[in-house]
Chain A
Amino acid sequence: MPPLHFSTIAELSDALAAGKTTSVDLTRAVIARTQAVEERVKAFNSYDTADALAQAAASDARRAAGLSLGPLDGIPVGIKDVIAVTGQPLTASSKMLANFVSPYDATVTEKLRKAGAVIWGRLNLDEFAMGSSTENSAFHTTRNPYDLERVPGGSSGGSAAALAAGEAIATLGSDTGGSIRQPAALCNVVGLKPTYGLVSRYGLIAFASSLDQIGPFTRSVEDAAITLQAIAGHDERDSTSVRIEIPDYRAALRTKKGPWRIGIPREYFGEGLDPEVAAAVEKAVSFYEKMGCEIKNVSLPHTEYGVGVYYIIATAECSSNLSRYDGVRYGHRSADAKDIVDLYFKSRAEGFGPEVKRRIILGTYVLSSGYYDAYYLRAQKVRTLIRQDFLNAYDEVDAILTPTSPTPAFKRGAKADPLAMYLCDVYTIGVNLAGLPGISVPCGFSSGGLPIGMQLIGQPFKEADLLAIAHAYDSAHDWSRRTPNL
């Protein structure tokens, strides 16, 4: 077994059950690792070692009393700093919320606690989850553990980097246009965006409400199944949360064996795709072919419109959601406002960073009188066509296989132009627009030693099948178990 801080949930839950380690020892190992590498990685916005150790001691006491809560009991799980944890800071990596302390737990936090997990630290992101590199954080840029000069991806860059660096055993992120899958690919970890509606958004700071979904980062597909099991399910506090029966995801990895029909969309292998990424993904396609899967070419003809649709819908929803930050009830308040309206203008000007302002402006514009039909309504209609493309493909295939990101991790500062940064999400955005589940699985390294990820896209609410397909590859390769030289 690898060192505790680089082990999987599956390995650690066995070791805990066998009495070979304790949650306190494991949590101490994760804290020690964090203190050793965090100065270089900068994945966290805050952490509370005393609180984590108290949770770990409580887990060990439960286990000693024969009351263990399952495979996550005693496992340190890091939380993206947009997900509420009672009594802890909740900043969205924004000056606007720099001093905010959460008065309640998000539903996913509550569910992790019920599964016995040790809630460990709040992880850095692009401000309000807007970005693909964590460079938009108001506090600091997180580094890629495989090359500290490069970005970890984003917006959940802290969640991906902390896991890759051994600073947590699993982490949660949120994904609006690729914010879980893209950093997972860039940091050599597994990242799952569930079907829209499977996981409650209650207690997640809203960015684009029709696209946002919480999901896990893990060191294996099996760990993703274990973590999803804990956080999935209907929640009456999120009216878009769906009432469906939650299957046993981990058991499905063993019972569902294929062979499957895998679709390869030609639109995802064109211009802009790095040749080493293409080669690694093509090798993964060959793996499925050798295991007896049927590989079919499929077409998602509206792919090229995805980025445009996304940047209309996401910015429109963000301009509405972020109107709540007005300096009145919570968040930053300007010290030199003349009157109440001036208070709104100045508090927002001082509290938000440039990317957030840009998106609020764009979103306000596309929703404004005279432009609504030309932009927002048209984007919603093209969204229908994008979703229909996927559903048509699923008449012929069980899952779709693509690269997650067009390139491996890029250098800090390399994409100063907003449009260049937006195009990082070209392969991940369609999944959010269509509300589908998608998972990024490590599938190799570039000649420069940078991680490469492939994306598997599943059918709505069929995470059990998607995870089984991903597990077939992940359990036959050791990519996801490799660790960086830090």
Chain B
Amino acid sequence: MSAHDDLNIDRIANLARLALTPEEKVKFSAQLADVLTNIEKLKQVDVTGVEPTAHAFPIYNVWADDVATPGLSVEAALRNAPEKRDNMIVVPKVVE
């Protein structure tokens, strides 16, 4: 059995907070199985003792002076909010 046989699309879609239609689930499962089969090739590579690369040119500890600089105005920051009231973003009720 190859690893992607257990790509459980419902579990993954739930983790990704993405509602998929039944058609999308069938289609994506098949397409991603193809892609994962291609990716399986990586198992042939001997990576013993190889360090992972997160960035090609790693930079650590980037510090900035602790000085306040102008940011977006409230109006600009809320300009793209889907729903707003009294300088706040409105969302559905979170706590019952």
A interface with B by C-beta (< 8 Å): 99-101, 103-104, 195-197, 210, 236, 239-240, 242, 302, 304-305, 307-309, 311-312, 319, 323, 326-333, 337-346, 348-349, 352, 354, 357-358, 360-362, 364-365, 368, 371, 374-375, 377-385, 387, 417-419, 422, 433-436, 460
Distance, CA A337 to CA B52, complexed state (A):
41
Distance, CA A338 to CA B94, complexed state (A):
11
The residue in chain A whose Cβ has the minimal distance to the Cβ of B89 is A329
How close is B1's CB to chain A, nearest CB, in angstroms?
A: 13
B89 partner residues in chain A, CB cutoff 8 A: 328-329
A and B contact pairs by CB, cutoff 8 A, 12 listed:
A305-B42, A308-B40, A308-B42, A340-B92, A340-B93, A345-B17, A361-B16, A368-B11, A375-B3, A375-B42, A382-B50, A419-B35
How close is A336's CB to chain B, nearest CB, in angstroms?
A: 11
B72 partner residues in chain A, CB cutoff 8 A: 103-104
In the complex, whether B68 has a CB less than 8 A from a CB of chain A is no
Are the C-beta atoms of B24 and A354 separated by less than 8 Å? yes
A346 partner residues in chain B, CB cutoff 8 A: 19
The residue in chain B whose Cβ has the minimal distance to the Cβ of A461 is B57
Are the C-beta atoms of B56 and A435 separated by less than 8 Å? yes
Are the C-beta atoms of A103 and B79 separated by less than 8 Å? yes
Contact of B28 among A103, A343, A349, A361 (CB under 8 A): A361
Contact of A422 among B3, B11, B35 (CB under 8 A): B35
Are the C-beta atoms of A380 and B32 separated by less than 8 Å? no
Within 8 A of A (CB), among B74-96: 76-77, 79-83, 89, 91-94
Are the C-beta atoms of A417 and B54 separated by less than 8 Å? no
Are the C-beta atoms of A371 and B55 separated by less than 8 Å? no
Are the C-beta atoms of A103 and B39 separated by less than 8 Å? no
Contact with A along B40-60 (1 / 0, CB 8 A): 111101010011111111010
A329 partner residues in chain B, CB cutoff 8 A: 80-81, 89
B52 partner residues in chain A, CB cutoff 8 A: 377, 380-381, 383-384
B59 partner residues in chain A, CB cutoff 8 A: 197, 239-240, 242
In the complex, whether B7 has a CB less than 8 A from a CB of chain A is yes
Distance, CA A331 to CA B81, complexed state (A):
7
B77 partner residues in chain A, CB cutoff 8 A: 103
B interface with A by C-beta (< 8 Å): 3, 7, 9, 11-13, 15-20, 24, 28, 31-32, 34-36, 38-43, 45, 47, 50-57, 59, 62, 64, 72, 76-77, 79-83, 89, 91-94
Are the C-beta atoms of B31 and A368 separated by less than 8 Å? no
Are the C-beta atoms of B18 and A361 separated by less than 8 Å? yes
The residue in chain A whose Cβ has the minimal distance to the Cβ of B95 is A340
Top 7 closest pairs, chain A to chain B, by CB: A435-B56, A380-B52, A333-B82, A330-B80, A349-B19, A381-B47, A345-B19
A379 partner residues in chain B, CB cutoff 8 A: 42
B51 partner residues in chain A, CB cutoff 8 A: 381, 384
B62 partner residues in chain A, CB cutoff 8 A: 239
Distance, CA A384 to CA B39, complexed state (A):
17
Are the C-beta atoms of B38 and A308 separated by less than 8 Å? yes
B7 partner residues in chain A, CB cutoff 8 A: 365
Query: With contacts A308-B38, A377-B52 known, is A362 near B18, CB below 8 A?
Result: no
A195 partner residues in chain B, CB cutoff 8 A: 57
Distance, CA A307 to CA B35, complexed state (A):
10
The residue in chain B whose Cβ has the minimal distance to the Cβ of A365 is B12
Are the C-beta atoms of B81 and A330 separated by less than 8 Å? yes
The residue in chain A whose Cβ has the minimal distance to the Cβ of B3 is A374
The residue in chain B whose Cβ has the minimal distance to the Cβ of A339 is B92
Distance, CA A383 to CA B54, complexed state (A):
9
Between B40, B41, B92, the greatest number of chain A beta carbons within 10 A of the residue's beta carbon is seen for: B92
Are the C-beta atoms of B15 and A348 separated by less than 8 Å? no
Query: With contacts A345-B19, A364-B16 known, is A327 near B35, CB below 8 A?
Result: no
A311 partner residues in chain B, CB cutoff 8 A: 35, 38-39
Distance, CA A195 to CA B55, complexed state (A):
12
Are the C-beta atoms of A101 and B32 separated by less than 8 Å? no
The residue in chain B whose Cβ has the minimal distance to the Cβ of A350 is B19
Contact of A304 among B19, B41, B43 (CB under 8 A): B41
Query: With contacts A197-B57, A368-B12 known, is A341 near B35, CB below 8 A?
Result: no
How close is B25's CB to chain A, nearest CB, in angstroms?
A: 10
Contact of A418 among B12, B18, B19, B35 (CB under 8 A): B35
Are the C-beta atoms of B18 and A345 separated by less than 8 Å? yes
B40 partner residues in chain A, CB cutoff 8 A: 308
The residue in chain A whose Cβ has the minimal distance to the Cβ of B75 is A103
Distance, CA A344 to CA B54, complexed state (A):
29
Are the C-beta atoms of B93 and A385 separated by less than 8 Å? no
How close is B59's CB to chain A, nearest CB, in angstroms?
A: 6
A323 partner residues in chain B, CB cutoff 8 A: 16-17
A99 partner residues in chain B, CB cutoff 8 A: 80
Are the C-beta atoms of B56 and A340 separated by less than 8 Å? no
